[in-house]
Amino acid sequence: ATKPIGVCNGRIADNLPSEEDVISFYTSNGIGKMRIYDPNQATLQALRGTNIELILGVPNGDLQSLTTPSTANDWIQNNIVAFSPAVNFRYIAVGNEVEPSDPASQYVLPAMQNIYNALASANLGGEIKVSTSVSTSLLAQSYPPSAGSFGATSSTYVTPIVSFLATTGAPLLVNVYPYFAYIGDPQNIRLDFALFTAQGTVFQDGALAYQNLFDAIVDAFYSALEAAGGANVEIVVSETGWPSTGEAAATVDNASTYYKNLINHVNDGTPKKPGKAMETYLFAMFDEDQKGPAETESHFGLFSPDKQPKYNNISFS
């Protein structure tokens, strides 16, 4: 079976190839899915006719304006209708990692609803799903995975979003980073658990045996979704990655191990959802030299900006 793997096309850098080059590089590497973080017109033009499935991001700074329905209609006309069906839009990510404490959080759901309605008006409602991309910081509890929950602060923000996703049949987009979980708590989290290299079960959660941290995080999110009334809402892993340098455990060896093992694992599902292939987007295509402040932030690329692979023998399909 082909692997449900995409790669995020981040552009916070001043030394990256042209969009045309980037898109043909995806194609030559057999990468059939892409995430972009804003409706960059050059990227969308270059995607025409490639059949690459796309997650298109709405930047957090644009959320407030999209609470006006006419603005959302214009956004859909300019960025979706103008390129459809030549560009294979799959999801619109309305905001990325907007936290409940962020003033923009009040705009996420209204913007999602307006984007959804604008798609429907353009007769594109069925095939393009509207969601938002969240970080694991929304979980008040993540261990054991069966007890995953959003907690009081997050619930007020997340529960209405979950209800919208359940009603519209859209997945929740989740950015899953075992790397950050590990460096945040190295006393309690084993490196081999984060890298998919643990031999055998690391912990038991009722009847379910966990051998890697990625599954534990995803299943904690599934439990939290169930508790929030979203038992039928699926998860798409909209970012995951491992940096090659910058701080503890950020090495080429570890990153290579993480990516290879993850790619080999995504078709297996998780203990909670065995055999259910997980659509997963690797972060990111290239090192982005203008990201920070942490040194690791600029070393998440699978490739260097001159298109040299940082890791050997990674197959995306």
**Three-class SS state of 89:** strand
Instruction: Identify the residue whose tokens are 């997340």.
Output: 158
- DSSP 8-state secondary structure symbol assigned to residue 314: -
- Exactly one of 97, 226, 234, 297 is catalytic; name it: 97
Q: How far apart are CA 219 and CA 241, in angstroms?
A: 18
Spell out where 226-284 has E strands: 235-240, 280-282
Active site residue 247: no
Q: Which 8-state DSSP code applies to residue 108?
A: H
3-state DSSP percent of the chain in helix, strand and coil, to 5: 40, 20, 45
97 is catalytic: yes
**Which tokens go with 309?**
């692979």
Strands (DSSP E) contained in the chain are 5-8, 33-36, 53-58, 88-96, 129-135, 172-175, 203-205, 208-210, 235-240, 280-282
Residues 6+ apart with CB under 8 A from 164: 109, 112, 113, 116, 170
Residue 235, strand partner residues: 172
Question: Which residue in 53, 226, 234, 239 is the catalytic one?
Answer: 239
**Token digits of residue 221:** 């999110």
Q: How many CB atoms lie within 10 A of CB 308?
A: 7
Task: Cite the active site residues.
Answer: 97, 239
